[in-house]
């Protein structure tokens, strides 16, 4: 179980200590993670492209992407000038051949046309995998049938819709809560392979979540990824969204977003950086001041105070400061206190997740979630009895269709406002020695 409750400022120090003994195993893990993206990187075009109108369909995994917003936030950050637009049509419990809706519910095709959908991201396989090995052939046939059903269709009025498959995650070992996790993982591995074979046969991109999530879940360090073994929690969606982003985006015009890495030698004031530019470094006995020009947006902070698995530490923005005088130092950015750590922890690198830029990224993510909520109110209204049922002739029933239209208008309006929330700035950073 991953329940170490140590301060997050110790994270990189711990990882650095472990690195000497774990180098070989980490290389294997990283190679496995990179292999997931290799299929996509050799493609001539990115599975998801600038300005795409995206529809997400599928099971509970797909449905819950909309309330966490990490993937959509990263896609918006990457294409600020030509942002993507996402509508999440996921529905808890959906399977390839079982996608029931209330009477009179809008057809999927009408919603896809209304959104002028360019690409569909289809997330299936978890529910189907409970059929075990006996259901494997039928599942693969169903995947091929669904891909064929969408093939050649045009929802945006100009080009055939593109398809992307997403495999199920692994089943996490939560001890007594998941007594059959080993069997379930054998089944999920088979179903993920079946999706991969179908994707290869049809030339459709696949994001394989099973392999990487299995590696993460086997790691003893870090928080749990799921609430019950198969449904991701907030941290699980944070982690998986990074993996999905790097599989969905291949950009030949600019580098795919990488977390900030800032390194400063307090003795020589030498610097190196990724994602930002570091200038105007001044060091005295009590403080180190410098200016950070943001070249790319920051990473969204992980929704946990626990130590992260070593395989995911590289997803955090990090500041490393070597050769500080012994003592504790507090980072302040534009007057905002961010994090405190000892000189040896700064030398190993400290995750920087609470700067003003990171707080602004969180505001963007919350705005994404709110836009998705407004769309859900309009698309999947809870009181269907007033729309198509026995109360549709009541005063409230007669008023509801106009309200549904207004919710859709609100979601479209907020969709257009999202990219304006992303602003790269130049800020003053300062490390103050505590007690001086």
Q: Dihedral sign for Cα 28, 29, 33, 34, please.
A: negative
Q: What is the pLDDT of residue 384?
A: 67
The per-residue pLDDT string of the chain (436 residues; one tens digit each, 9 = 90 and over) reads 454 344 445 444 444 443 433 333 443 344 344 444 434 334 458 999 999 999 999 999 999 999 999 999 999 999 999 999 999 999 999 999 999 988 778 899 999 999 999 999 999 999 999 999 999 999 999 999 999 999 999 999 999 999 999 999 999 999 999 999 999 999 999 999 999 999 999 999 999 999 999 999 999 999 999 999 999 999 999 999 999 999 999 886 667 778 999 999 999 999 999 999 999 999 998 999 999 999 999 999 999 999 999 999 999 999 999 999 999 999 999 999 999 999 999 999 999 999 999 999 999 999 999 999 999 998 987 776 766 677 778 887 777 778 888 999 999 999 999 989 999 999 999 999 998 7
- Contact call for residues 266 and 321 (beta carbons, < 8 A): yes
Q: Name 21's Cβ contacts closer than 8 Å, sequence gap at least 6.
A: none
Q: Give the chain's length.
A: 436
Q: What is the pLDDT of residue 17?
A: 40
pLDDT at 285: 84
Q: How far apart (Å, rounded) are the C-alpha atoms in residues 339 and 291? A: 17
The crossing angle, in degrees rounded to 10, of helices 234-248 and 11-41 is 40
Whether 13 and 351 have beta carbons less than 8 Å apart is answered as no
CB 197 within 8 A of CB 293: no
Q: What is the pLDDT of residue 338?
A: 98
Question: What is the DSSP-derived secondary structure letter of residue 418?
Answer: G
For residue 45, what pLDDT is reported? Answer: 85
- DSSP annotation string for 53-71: EEEEEESHHHHHHHHH-HH
Query: Half-sphere exposure (CA, 13 Å, Cβ side) for 146?
Result: 26
- 133-136 LR contacts (CB < 8 Å, sep 24+): 133/187, 133/190, 136/190, 136/191, 136/194
pLDDT at 368: 98
Tokens 């997330």 appear where? 123
Q: What is the DSSP letter of 312?
A: G
Show the domains of the chain with their CATH numbers. Answer: 8-248 (3.40.50.1110)
3-state SS, residue 225? coil
pTM over 0.85: yes
Task: Give the separation between CA 117 and CA 162, rounded to whole angstroms.
Answer: 9
**Is residue 116 exposed (0-12), middle (13-18) or buried (19+ Cβ within 10 Å)?**
middle
What would the two tokens of residue 217 be?
């879940």
């Amino acid at each position: 179980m991953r329940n170490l409750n140590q301060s997050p400022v110790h994270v990189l120090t711990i990882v650095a200590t472990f690195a000497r003994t774990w180098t070989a195993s980490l290389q294997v893990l990283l190679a496995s993670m990179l292999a997931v993206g290799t299929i996509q990187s050799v493609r001539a075009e990115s599975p998801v492209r600038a300005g795409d109108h995206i529809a997400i369909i599928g099971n509970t995994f797909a449905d819950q992407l909309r309330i966490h917003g990490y993937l959509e936030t990263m896609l918006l950050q990457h294409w600020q000038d030509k942002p993507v637009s996402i509508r999440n049509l996921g529905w808890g419990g959906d399977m390839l051949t079982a996608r029931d809706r209330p009477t009179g519910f809008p057809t999927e095709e009408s919603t896809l046309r209304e959104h002028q959908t360019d690409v569909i991201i289809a997330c299936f396989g978890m529910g189907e995998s409970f059929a075990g090995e006996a259901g494997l052939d039928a599942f693969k046939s169903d995947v091929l049938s669904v891909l064929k059903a969408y093939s050649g269709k045009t929802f945006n009025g100009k080009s055939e819709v593109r398809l992307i498959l997403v495999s199920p995650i692994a089943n996490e070992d939560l001890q007594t809560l998941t007594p059959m996790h080993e069997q379930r993982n054998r089944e999920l591995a088979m179903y993920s392979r079946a999706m991969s074979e179908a994707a290869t046969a049809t030339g459709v991109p696949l994001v394989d979540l099973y392999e990487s999530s299995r590696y993460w879940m086997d790691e003893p360090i870090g928080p749990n990824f799921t609430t019950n073994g198969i449904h991701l929690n907030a941290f699980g969606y944070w982690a998986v969204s990074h993996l999905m982003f790097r599989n969905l985006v291949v950009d030949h015009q600019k580098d795919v977003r990488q977390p900030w890495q800032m390194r400063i030698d307090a003795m020589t004031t030498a610097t190196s950086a990724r994602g930002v530019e570091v200038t105007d470094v001044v060091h005295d006995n009590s403080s180190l001041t410098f200016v950070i020009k943001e070249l790319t947006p920051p990473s969204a902070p992980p929704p946990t105070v626990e130590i992260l698995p070593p395989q995911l530490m590289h997803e955090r923005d990090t500041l490393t400061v070597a050769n500080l005088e012994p003592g504790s130092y507090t980072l302040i950015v534009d007057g905002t206190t961010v994090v405190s750590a000892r000189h040896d922890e700064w030398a190993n690198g400290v995750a920087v997740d609470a700067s003003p830029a990171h707080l602004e990224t969180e505001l963007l993510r919350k705005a994404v979630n709110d836009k998705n909520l407004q769309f859900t109110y309009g698309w999947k209204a809870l009181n269907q009895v007033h729309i198509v049922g026995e109360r549709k002739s009541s005063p409230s029933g007669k008023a509801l269709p106009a309200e549904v239209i207004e919710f859709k208008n609100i979601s479209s309006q907020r969709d257009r406002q999202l990219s304006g929330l992303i602003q790269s700035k130049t800020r003053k950073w300062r490390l103050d020695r505590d007690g001086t």
